């Protein structure tokens, strides 16, 4: 995204169009021979008021006679067409999309065949019926015309043009029906089958999992046609659930040859020349604290007492030294966006020589780092921060459990082994207590969720699903990372460098209205008016903490919040109650952190915003992409975990469990089982002796005749009736006595993880398109529902990753 001679570029001043391109300076910094900016061309077309051919546009801009610049105009217009900014009509003219009743956006498919277009510019979705959806697949970018409003009050559209196809290949089950071969995609949002001719089937057998390349995309006249490129095996093969998730979500896992060439000369040791000119931190007793099975260590910490508080050093592996802009390695890291953590398997953002080698802070070896020295006073306030490029050496690799044993004084032998490092661990603990108190004072949200991990036996047979226990040792590192992340954001804001911030907006107005209606039923009130602050939410949580229905109220509060994303527009982080926040601490596994490191290095070396490689416009693109890859990783991990949980429950059909209602929908109750942490659906037809109506505000199903209700967080007893591995869903029925048996707080409490309010389940985020607003099911069960096994379990915490909002 830095300076280039690409001809999707921009303007020489002048031409015969009126006015001057306001973005001319930006374009001249990027391109040797710039042409008018996209914005300028769009303004020109709007002022013209009618379609214009490529030649007419070039002539009016004074570029027709210059062959090279005319070619640049052609490329620019093609790029604008590709991005959905203009439409190329049948007469060869270009029309701005927003000048006609056209909507540009991305298709969200539904398992029942219909879909929606989510406008790029925001606003109300456009409904596409089954016939219109026959020409597209979930994820395609399209332009549609709004044709009217359907009987349910939704905008309805017709397909005008497919701008970008989302899928070149799909993973799914191969089927043979009377000699005709086809593939049923694994993704439930793609209900269309892909036809495969006999010569393109690669000998696949009925029911096997295959990869199919789409050789002809669907159209109005026929469905998609494909060619099998890989027979992956049978559904029950060990590890198949992860292979399917990787391919279904198109997560890159093979390194391009160009990347292999670039890293071929890297060696496990840091060369001496690379250490020159850096601050030497090797005598500072920095230590890493991670999970027992963590393989990559991207942060190390040190803490000591000062007269006015503490000095803290947070050292992060210097990934930006090895991953240079515009290299093949950088491009691949950008495409991946982040590492993806499946149960007992990781798809890394960087090759192993970096992620587990040169950029992993292993004990007793020299490593390059980007570090920040933080001076924190007795009240937990950072009064000075200094960033530096350093060379360091980890003095110990601790696990969370080891640190907790040392802090508790529970292991004398371990204490003797690490007696030199014990004082700084105790100071870290003392600092954590101060920072934790300050977190509460500023109003940061602490929403409790149970995180789980899957325990495997031989041949990846699941032995158990267990809760993850969090100690103070986990929270110590979390607070240190929060300090460093906020310091990075402040550093970049002060220097006005284009950068990505981790932002989390407050709740939307409609969510806030529903929340207040719900709270009103309990005689509760959320302060703060139209823009409540985190402290207002925290105050309410404190009020209900000892109530038996506290879990219900906390769950509804959490679902009113938005999802955290990456953006160059720093609006603060609502959940953490920070006015500024960025991700700095994990450049091994998150591309936004790498961009933050590059910006800090640029400033440390005397650079300014004017000579930085990236612009704010670049950061907008980076932010959208990285937010998307983060969601992709979450969805892929959830798919794999859901499948594993279904497999775990296959031999438990007929057994009875106690559980908690985790979600209430118009078609039934989603219940999470105690002890096994698996979620399934009690369909509304299984609720006997009455007709039930859905109360969206009250999060409950109400009986007409009996007045009996089933509400979010109710405790119920259910029987496992059916497990569908293909659809990743589990059906429950209520036990003979189908009354709720109490609130969530009647059950034994498991250790719960703090959350900052930004990490809410992504499927809940999708309800506006997947169910609630349009009255349709999300996925999974016919008639509706989320996939089974959802909840808060991701199965990836056994990797020892840290979460910093």
User: Looking at the predicted structure, is the pLDDT value of residue 122 above 90?
Assistant: no
User: Looking at the predicted structure, is the pLDDT value of residue 274 above 70?
Assistant: yes
Report phi then psi at 699, rounded to 5.
55, 55
Percent of the chain topping pLDDT 90: 61
Give the tokens for residue 179. Answer: 């000699």
User: Looking at the predicted structure, is the pLDDT value of residue 51 above 90?
Assistant: no
The pLDDT value given to residue 100: 55
Q: Is the dihedral of CA 134, 135, 136, 137 positive or negative?
A: positive
More confident residue, 752 or 450: 450
DSSP secondary structure code for residue 99 in this structure: G
- Residues 588 and 297 sit within 8 Å (Cβ to Cβ): no
Measure CA 97 to chain center: 29
pLDDT tens for 212-231 read: 999 999 998 899 999 999 99
The pLDDT value given to residue 694: 92
Between CA 41 and CA 796 the distance in angstroms is 47
If phi > 0 it is left, if psi is from -120 to 50 it is alpha, else beta; for residue 459 that is left
Q: In DSSP terms, which residues pair with 301 in a beta bridge?
A: 287, 314
More confident residue, 699 or 301: 301
pLDDT tens for 636-667 read: 999 999 999 999 999 999 999 999 998 899 99
More confident residue, 102 or 566: 566
- Residues 710 and 703 sit within 8 Å (Cβ to Cβ): no
User: Looking at the predicted structure, is the pLDDT value of residue 12 above 50?
Assistant: no
Between CA 688 and CA 703 the distance in angstroms is 10
Between CA 729 and CA 680 the distance in angstroms is 7
Neighbours of 130 (CB within 10 A): 12
User: Looking at the predicted structure, is the pLDDT value of residue 375 above 90?
Assistant: yes
Give me the mean pLDDT over the 575-603 stretch.
Answer: 97
More confident residue, 560 or 259: 259
Q: Is the dihedral of CA 653, 658, 660, 661 positive or negative?
A: positive
H-helix or E-strand containing 358? none
pLDDT band of 193, cuts 50, 70, 90: very high
| Among the listed residues 483, 462, 260, the one whose alpha carbon sits nearest the alpha carbon of residue 384 | 483
> Which ranges of 496-533 would DSSP assign to H, the alpha helix?
509-520
User: Looking at the predicted structure, is the pLDDT value of residue 459 above 50?
Assistant: yes
Q: In DSSP terms, which residues pair with 673 in a beta bridge?
A: 659
Per the confidence metrics, is the pTM higher than 0.85? no
Give the tokens for residue 605. Answer: 């070396």
The pLDDT value given to residue 437: 94
Q: Please tell me whether residue 141 adopts helix, strand or coil conformation.
A: strand
pLDDT band of 88, cuts 50, 70, 90: confident
Give the tokens for residue 107. Answer: 């298709």
H-helix or E-strand containing 658? strand 656-665
User: Looking at the predicted structure, is the pLDDT value of residue 150 above 70?
Assistant: yes
The pLDDT value given to residue 30: 78
Between CA 19 and CA 41 the distance in angstroms is 12
Measure CA 296 to chain center: 20
User: Looking at the predicted structure, is the pLDDT value of residue 63 above 80?
Assistant: yes
The pLDDT value given to residue 86: 82
- Residues 484 and 372 sit within 8 Å (Cβ to Cβ): yes
pLDDT tens for 388-404 read: 999 999 999 999 999 99
User: Looking at the predicted structure, is the pLDDT value of residue 634 above 60?
Assistant: yes
Between CA 206 and CA 204 the distance in angstroms is 7
- Residues 334 and 618 sit within 8 Å (Cβ to Cβ): no
The pLDDT value given to residue 404: 97
If phi > 0 it is left, if psi is from -120 to 50 it is alpha, else beta; for residue 339 that is beta
User: Looking at the predicted structure, is the pLDDT value of residue 65 above 90?
Assistant: no
Kindly report each contact of residues 181-190 with a partner whose C-beta sits within 8 Å and lies 24 or more positions away, as own/partner. Answer: 183/210, 183/212, 183/226, 183/228, 185/248, 186/244, 186/248, 187/138, 187/248, 188/111, 188/727, 188/779, 188/780, 188/787, 189/108, 189/109, 189/110, 189/111, 189/138, 189/139, 189/779, 190/109, 190/137, 190/138
Contacts of 357 (CB under 8 A, 6+ apart): 266, 268
Question: Which parts of 129-252 are beta strand (E)?
Answer: 141-149, 155-164, 169-177, 180-185, 194-196, 209-216, 225-233
Measure CA 319 to chain center: 21
More confident residue, 283 or 453: 283
- Residues 94 and 54 sit within 8 Å (Cβ to Cβ): yes
Residue in the block written with tokens 């292991």: 411
Between CA 655 and CA 225 the distance in angstroms is 44
DSSP secondary structure code for residue 279 in this structure: E
Contacts of 565 (CB under 8 A, 6+ apart): 502, 503, 504, 623, 627
User: Looking at the predicted structure, is the pLDDT value of residue 487 above 80?
Assistant: yes
pLDDT band of 760, cuts 50, 70, 90: very low
User: Looking at the predicted structure, is the pLDDT value of residue 804 above 90?
Assistant: no
Q: Please tell me whether residue 419 adopts helix, strand or coil conformation.
A: coil
pLDDT band of 19, cuts 50, 70, 90: low
pLDDT tens for 696-745 read: 888 899 998 888 899 888 999 999 999 999 888 999 999 866 666 654 44
- Residues 219 and 213 sit within 8 Å (Cβ to Cβ): no
H-helix or E-strand containing 440? helix 422-442
The pLDDT value given to residue 737: 64
Distances (CA, A) of 537 to 443, 524, 530, 697, 801: 8, 12, 13, 18, 28
Give the chain's mean pLDDT: 86
Burial classification of residue 166, based on how many CB atoms lie within 10 Å of its CB (0-12 exposed, 13-18 middle, 19 or more buried)? middle
Percent of the chain topping pLDDT 70: 88
User: Looking at the predicted structure, is the pLDDT value of residue 802 above 50?
Assistant: no
User: Looking at the predicted structure, is the pLDDT value of residue 757 above 90?
Assistant: no
- Residues 230 and 211 sit within 8 Å (Cβ to Cβ): yes
Q: Please tell me whether residue 774 adopts helix, strand or coil conformation.
A: coil
* 86-100, 474-488, 767-781: least confidently modelled range: 767-781
Neighbours of 390 (CB within 10 A): 23
Q: How many helices (H) and strands (E) does the chain have?
A: 22, 36
Report phi then psi at 537, rounded to 5.
-65, -45
pLDDT tens for 355-372 read: 999 999 999 999 999 999
Contacts of 83 (CB under 8 A, 6+ apart): 163
pLDDT band of 85, cuts 50, 70, 90: confident
- Residues 160 and 145 sit within 8 Å (Cβ to Cβ): yes
User: Looking at the predicted structure, is the pLDDT value of residue 1 above 80?
Assistant: no
Q: Is the dihedral of CA 712, 713, 719, 725 positive or negative?
A: positive
Give the tokens for residue 321. Answer: 């030294």
The pLDDT value given to residue 789: 36
Between CA 609 and CA 514 the distance in angstroms is 43
Q: Please tell me whether residue 572 adopts helix, strand or coil conformation.
A: coil
């Amino acid at each position: 995204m830095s300076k280039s001679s690409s001809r999707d570029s921009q303007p020489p001043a002048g031409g015969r169009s009126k006015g001057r391109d306001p973005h001319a300076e930006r374009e001249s910094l990027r391109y040797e021979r710039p042409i008018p900016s996209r914005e300028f061309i769009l303004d020109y077309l709007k002022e013209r008021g009618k379609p214009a051919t490529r030649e007419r546009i070039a002539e009016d801009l004074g570029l027709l006679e210059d062959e090279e610049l005319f070619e640049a105009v052609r490329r620019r217009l093609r790029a604008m067409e590709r991005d959905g900014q203009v439409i190329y009509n049948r007469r060869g003219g270009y029309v701005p999309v927003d000048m006609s009743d056209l909507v540009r956006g991305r298709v969200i498919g539904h398992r029942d065949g219909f879909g929606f277009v989510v406008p790029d510019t925001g606003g109300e979705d456009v409904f596409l019926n089954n016939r219109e959806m026959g020409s597209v697949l979930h994820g395609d970018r399209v332009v549609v015309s709004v044709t009217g409003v359907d009987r349910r009050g939704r905008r309805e559209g017709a397909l005008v043009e497919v701008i970008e196809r989302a899928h070149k290949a799909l993973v799914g089950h191969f089927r043979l029906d009377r000699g005709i071969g086809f593939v049923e995609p694994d993704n439930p949002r793609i209900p269309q089958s892909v036809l495969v001719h006999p010569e393109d089937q690669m000998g696949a057998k009925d029911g096997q999992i295959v990869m199919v390349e789409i050789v002809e995309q669907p159209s109005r006249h026929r469905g998609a046609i494909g060619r099998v490129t890989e027979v992956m095996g049978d559904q029950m093969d060990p590890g198949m659930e992860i292979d399917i998730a990787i391919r279904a979500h198109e997560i890159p896992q093979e390194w391009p040859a160009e990347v292999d060439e670039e890293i071929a000369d890297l060696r496990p040791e840091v060369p001496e020349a690379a250490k020159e000119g850096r601050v030497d931190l090797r005598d500072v007793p920095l230590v890493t604290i991670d999970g027992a099975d963590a393989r990559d260590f991207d942060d190390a910490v040190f803490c000591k007492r000062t007269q006015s508080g503490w000095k803290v050093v947070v050292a992060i592996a210097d990934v930006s030294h090895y991953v240079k802009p515009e290299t093949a390695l950088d491009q691949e890291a950008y495409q991946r966006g982040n590492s993806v953590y499946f149960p007992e398997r990781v798809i890394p953002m960087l090759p192993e020589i970096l992620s587990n080698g040169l950029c992993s802070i292993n004990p007793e070896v020299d490593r390059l780092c980007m570090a920040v020295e933080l001076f924190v006073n007795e009240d937990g306030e950072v009064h000075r921060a200094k960033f530096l490029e350093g060379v360091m050496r980890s003095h110990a690799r601790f696990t969370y459990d080891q640190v907790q044993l040392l802090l508790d004084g529970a292991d004398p032998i371990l204490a003797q082994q690490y007696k030199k490092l014990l004082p700084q661990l105790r100071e870290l603990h003392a600092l954590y207590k101060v920072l934790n108190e300050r977190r509460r004072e500023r109003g940061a949200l602490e929403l409790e969720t149970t995180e789980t991990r899957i325990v495997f036996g031989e041949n990846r047979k699941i032995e158990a699903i267990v809760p993850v226990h969090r100690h103070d040792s986990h929270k110590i590192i979390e607070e240190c990372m929060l300090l460093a992340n906020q310091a990075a954001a402040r550093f970049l804001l002060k220097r006005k460098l284009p950068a990505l911030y981790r932002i989390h907006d407050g709740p939307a107005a409609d969510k806030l209205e529903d929340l207040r209606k719900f709270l009103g039923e309990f005689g509760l009130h959320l302060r703060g008016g139209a823009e409540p602050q985190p402290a207002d939410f925290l105050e309410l949580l404190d009020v209900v903490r000892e109530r038996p229905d506290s879990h219900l109220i906390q769950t509804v509060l959490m679902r009113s919040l938005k999802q955290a994303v990456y953006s160059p527009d720093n609006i603060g982080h609502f959940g953490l109650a920070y006015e500024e926040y960025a991700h700095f601490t994990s450049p091994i596994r998150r591309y936004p952190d790498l961009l933050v490191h590059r910006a800090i290095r640029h400033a440390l070396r005397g650079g300014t915003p004017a000579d930085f490689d990236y612009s704010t416009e670049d950061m907008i693109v980076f932010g959208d992409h990285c937010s998307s890859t983060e969601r992709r990783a979450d969805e892929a991990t959830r798919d794999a975990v859901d499948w594993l949980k279904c497999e775990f429950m296959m031999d438990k059909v007929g057994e009875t469990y106690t559980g908690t209602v985790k979600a209430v929908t118009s078609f039934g109750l989603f219940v999470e089982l105690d002890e096994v942490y698996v979620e399934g659906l009690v369909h509304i037809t299984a609720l006997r002796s009455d007709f039930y109506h859905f109360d969206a505000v009250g999060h409950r199903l109400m009986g007409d005749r009996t007045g009996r209700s089933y509400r979010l967080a109710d405790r119920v007893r259910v029987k496992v009736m059916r497990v569908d591995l293909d659809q990743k869903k589990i059906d429950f029925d209520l036990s003979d006595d189908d009354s709720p048996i109490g609130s969530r707080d009647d059950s034994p409490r498991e250790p719960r993880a703090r959350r900052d309010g930004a990490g809410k389940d992504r499927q809940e985020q999708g309800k506006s398109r997947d169910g609630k607003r349009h009255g349709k099911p999300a996925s999974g069960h016919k008639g509706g529902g989320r996939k089974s096994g959802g909840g808060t379990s991701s199965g990836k915490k056994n990797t020892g990753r840290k979460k910093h909002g």
